[in-house]
Structure 1
Amino acid sequence: MDAAACDLQLDVNGQETFFIHEKIISSYCGRIRRLFGKSKGATTNLKVIFHDFPGGPESFELVSRFCYNNGRIDINPYTAPRLFCAAHYLEMNETITGSHNLLEQSEKSLEEIKFWSWPELLSALRSCQHLVPISSSSGILQKCLDSLVGRLVFTSETSPSCPSSSSPESSVLRLSTDSKSTESLKSGFLRSTWWFEDLVTVLTPNLVKLLVKSMVLHKFDLGVTSRFLFYYQKSRFIVVNFDEKREITETVIDSLSLLDQRSVPCKSLFGILRVSLNLNVKKICKNSLEHMIGSQLDQATLDNLLVPPPHGSNHLYDVKLVLQFVKHFLAGKGGREVPTSQMKKVARLIDSYIAEVAPDPRLKASRFLALVTALPESARDLYDEIYHAIDIFLRVHTGLSDGEKTSICESINYDKLSTETCNHLTQNDKFPSRFATTALKAQQRKLENLFRDMDLKRRLVAPGREAVETEPKDGKSEQVVLYAEQVVHQVDIVHENEKMRAHLEGMQWRVVELEKVCRKMQTQMSKLLKSKVSTQTTSKSLPRLCS
């Protein structure tokens, strides 16, 4: 084209300048026609600058070919998105010559998107990423995504065999002919993941979340979707810089939050958590990830929870993060009560974690106490592991105030300590003496409850009942004697304080008395049993009367 004969300079996004005939371009482009329609005087040396032309110089070159070829151009899946967005931007919906306008022609081409091959869809999607925001506002981007996801849904339902490299016309559902995809299938990759590598090379982070939204809308397999997101993150990390890694990680976290969390592996979430800690992701993304992990904390392991602390902290592990997990676990059921099995599983996990962090000399008492009390008492059947963790914490943190010691010791439910642990506690000089008494009283209550149960059974013995129902089961009488002996032993070794000793001796006397009552009850029940058996034997020996 002779630049001297052209009367219009058109600067496209500061990347390239085109010299064109204003009359020719205006006959097809409404936007340019309006720019010069009201101008008066000389029309030479005109210049137009576009700062946001969709697709840049490459797209405008296609438009100029259309204009200089009397409104004719070959539109195919590779050029349709560019021509459509450019026509939309330049208002090429009506012409002076009366020939078909570019917007109408490109729209007709896009209506055939359902017949495009897989590589053609990928090419169109790649083009759309350079046409934002026009591609999004005009709907072309969403059309490409919906068509692509629809193809994936169909192929996952029909389980197609390995894709062939036939022509576009031979099959609407032809899969990628890329050698990498074919080789991945041949090497044993699951059919459901054949498209992973194709989309990793095409999609920018901006499109990933839109793709996931479309997948959710089309009810695509969410388990496969979550696997793709983790695959995308790992694959793209190989060739990108620090800032791009952060953007990809934030995109993956945002996309995962759109899925049903039952489809997202807990182990993979911890993997991306460790990555995000080094990338300083946005706080909203960090909170979202904590919520996702917390909602399925019962699937985590102790190794998962041993997350290093933030940079600059001198703690061994990030205890604050684990407290957030517990908070989200308790609140993550949508207001519904957490199932008992899950609650107890998390309690065992947290108890193990508390034992792991207790030796940290830099762990504050307030944070340690927050860990111990993070779960309700009903979550634990036994407090032995909590006691031993507190014992370690008190031995390591020798500078605690009396108030801190008291608060920590009060967090134990002494009614849920085993006898062996109570024995250990009564000899533990790290625990204030009053808590040894609390433990003994708890054991005494257990003993009294056993006697109460046996006394209730004795009262239920009556003529006509099977005596065997009232007989103590599982050796409870022996249990009572054992408890009594243990309590007496505890009394002998506990405090030297005279007032306390007098109180404990009183407890010992009550145990001895209870033991006497127990033995008396055993004798009475034995007699009742013999009497009942004798009565039954006598009645069976009597002759039956004739009717």
Structure 2
Amino acid sequence: MRKEEHDQASRSRRSVYGRKRNRCVISPANASTMVVAIERREHSWFFRTNDTSDLTVFVGETIFHLHKLPMVSKSGYFSRLIFQRRKNGETNSTLNIDNFPGGYHIFHLVVKFCYGLAIDLTATNVAPLYSAAHFLEMTEDFQHGNLISNAEAFLSFIVFSAWKDTLLILKSCEDVSLRADKLEIVKQCSESIAWKACLDPQVIGCSVDDELCLNSLSNNTKNLKYKNDSYGNIVEESWWFEDVSILRIDHFVEVINVIKAKGMKPKLVGGSIAYWISKWLQKIKNVKDCDHKEVRGDTFECLIRILPKERNSVCCNFLLHLLKVGLMLNIDPELTMELDIRVATMLESLCAEDLLVKNFKDGDTMYDVSLVIRVVDAYATYISKDPKARLDTVAGVVDDYLALVARDGQLLVECFQLLAEALPEDARSCNDKLYRAMDMYLKAHPTLTEEERRTVCRSLKYHKLSQEARNHAMKNDRLPVNITLLLILWEQVKLTKSTLSKDMKYKRSKPKEVVIERTKELDDRWLKPLKELQTMKTDVEKMKVQLSNLQVVSLKLQRQVGIGLR
């Protein structure tokens, strides 16, 4: 490798674009020092020439043994420091460079350039090299065709012409974020990506070797969730979703802001954000994962703020996932409230499956019911008072959702009850769906106490059940006793009303004696079920007393056994 570098350095020293679009070979116009060999020993690099090394540079834990002349001849940074030390009479020739852009890998390329060796500029290293060149002040004042001008020319060429390489440049800026922002590399790349994303993919002209672009175009149909859903026919326009999803969140936000400014359709903007989030969510399983990833609460808030405001620009399920992550990251409560209300406004046009959001942690419920409680509470608070609100429709969605999550053994009684009672009492004209969900919950939780079963069924209005549902409920031994008794009483009341109605007609057409006789029969028929009901209540109370006595006896026996064992 040393021989090849030496041979390459001895060639005509000028900038040359390589055959491949994403590669540029550059070397200085002249070399002040001829390198004999480059050696590496563990964390130390040695640039061998005919002269003894007189400069030692520490970049992190890596040591470079260099010569002052080639470094001073091209770098204002080295020139200023070294001459300042000489002016002050200092003999120390060791320099420490902290936080060097790109680390020792990029510094190694800079040193090669300073020694007159050719280096390759690529889409993955041009941004760090450009930042490093500015850090070291490698301007045209020191040498014509210095590193800044070469890197800047290649950077402009790539950003203007190549879709794939522009993304790679922006990706490489993650290691030099502050300097890349200051030098407007991120801005240039974002403008280029946004401009090309708004064009037809055929206009961009992806070349055969542009694998990233081609893969995105060819796999678009099978990767996008929205191709046959509420997003309609946007698949062809969404070819760029996969490509920009590789970007870090702050760079992604920058790109989306520029895309929005260029007038991109709201559904496409929302779809790209949803795609980025869904891809990122696959990488995390709990809050701890969020802590060491690139996403923080403040940057995540930026992502929420750039969501298009247009209705249906993003789907409800995505907004719920966004809300869940936002709560995990403790973002601004005003933003979470905005998400609550935004999902609440969509409840009237959803189905229960749209509300299913899985939990990340083991031991939790399968689905995050607390999220749904939040948005239903928001609906009840802000939307249900609107005369146009379709309360019955939303109640049906909530009841269907309760039926979906009822079988979860980890779902607490309090959560079920809170969601069942979140809407106003007059929201449901029929309680059949709610009864079905309650019955499924009781069946899946057979160990509930009588008090817990009463809590589960507290919002059930027996007079709003259909006849079929009431017949089922009266035979349902999973229901609490008070509900069963109320249902029996309700049936008896209905029967009495029906009989009274018939007898009133009979009264108008029969003599007084017959009416009296029929009234006595009615009283007997009415008193009998009431007596039965009273007997049932008395039996229940007796059973409670007997159970209490048995518990007392059991405690006494346990104590006696314990004393005997001692």
Which TM class, normalised by the smaller chain length? 0.5 to 0.7
Match of 2:419 in 1: 371
Q: What displacement does 1:414 show?
A: 6.3
Match of 1:116 in 2: 161
Give the counterpart letter for 2:131 in structure 1.
Answer: C
Match of 2:307 in 1: 259
Match of 2:98 in 1: 51
Q: Secondary structure at the match of 2:94?
A: strand
Q: Secondary structure at the match of 1:381?
A: coil
CA–CA distance in 2 between the matches of 1:47 and 1:254?
45
**Partners of 1:266 and 1:299 within 8 A in 2:** no
Q: What displacement does 1:344 show?
A: 3.5
2:178 counterpart of 1:178? no
Q: What displacement does 1:372 show?
A: 1.6
Q: Does the C-alpha gap of structure 1 residues 244 and 377 become closer, same or farther in structure 2, counting only changes over 3 Å? A: closer
Match of 2:389 in 1: 340
TM-score, normalised relative to structure 1: 0.59
Q: What displacement does 1:149 show?
A: 1.4
Q: Does the C-alpha gap of structure 1 residues 24 and 330 become closer, same or farther in structure 2, counting only changes over 3 Å? A: farther
2:252 counterpart of 1:208? yes
Q: Does the C-alpha gap of structure 1 residues 407 and 48 become closer, same or farther in structure 2, counting only changes over 3 Å? A: same
Match of 1:495 in 2: 530
Q: What displacement does 1:354 show?
A: 3.1
Q: Secondary structure at the match of 2:175?
A: coil
Q: Secondary structure at the match of 1:263?
A: coil
CA–CA distance in 2 between the matches of 1:300 and 1:367?
21
Q: Deviations over 1:112-167 (max 9, x none)?
A: 666333244234324323322211233212221222112211x14xx6368353xx
Q: How many residues align?
A: 436
2:178 counterpart of 1:133? yes
Q: What displacement does 1:415 show?
A: 6.6
CA–CA distance in 2 between the matches of 1:226 and 1:489?
70
Percent identity at matched positions?
25
Match of 1:354 in 2: 402
CA–CA distance in 2 between the matches of 1:235 and 1:318?
20
CA–CA distance in 2 between the matches of 1:84 and 1:405?
69
Superposed, 1:125-524 pairs within 5 Å as 125-153=170-198, 155-156=199-200, 160=202, 163=205, 165=207, 177-179=209-211, 181-182=213-214, 185=217, 189=221, 190-199=235-244, 203-204=247-248, 207-228=251-272, 257=304, 258-260=306-308, 262-266=312-316, 282=329, 284=331, 291=340, 296-298=346-348, 301-303=351-353, 313=363, 318-327=368-377, 340-341=389-390, 343-355=391-403, 364-387=412-435, 389-390=437-438, 396=446, 399-401=449-451, 411-412=459-460, 416-418=464-466, 430-431=481-482, 435=486, 495-496=530-531
TM-score, normalised relative to structure 2: 0.57
CA–CA distance in 1 between the matches of 2:215 and 2:453?
64
Q: Structure 2: where are the runs of 5+ without partners?
A: 1-34, 36-47, 222-234, 499-521, 536-566
CA–CA distance in 1 between the matches of 2:385 and 2:295?
29
Match of 2:564 in 1: none
Q: What displacement does 1:46 show?
A: 0.6
Q: What displacement does 1:349 show?
A: 1.9
**Partners of 1:121 and 1:148 within 8 A in 2:** yes
CA–CA distance in 2 between the matches of 1:222 and 1:417?
44
Match of 1:32 in 2: 78
**Partners of 1:15 and 1:56 within 8 A in 2:** no
Q: Please give the root-mean-square deviation of Cα atoms over the aligned residues, in Å.
A: 5.6
2:66 counterpart of 1:19? yes
CA–CA distance in 2 between the matches of 1:266 and 1:143?
34
Q: Structure 1: where are the runs of 5+ without partners?
A: 166-175, 448-486, 501-547
Give the counterpart letter for 1:163 in structure 2.
Answer: G
Q: Secondary structure at the match of 2:530?
A: coil
**Partners of 2:462 and 2:487 within 8 A in 1:** no
Q: What displacement does 1:353 show?
A: 3.2
**Partners of 1:77 and 1:116 within 8 A in 2:** no
**Partners of 1:14 and 1:51 within 8 A in 2:** no
Q: Does the C-alpha gap of structure 1 residues 162 and 52 become closer, same or farther in structure 2, counting only changes over 3 Å? A: closer
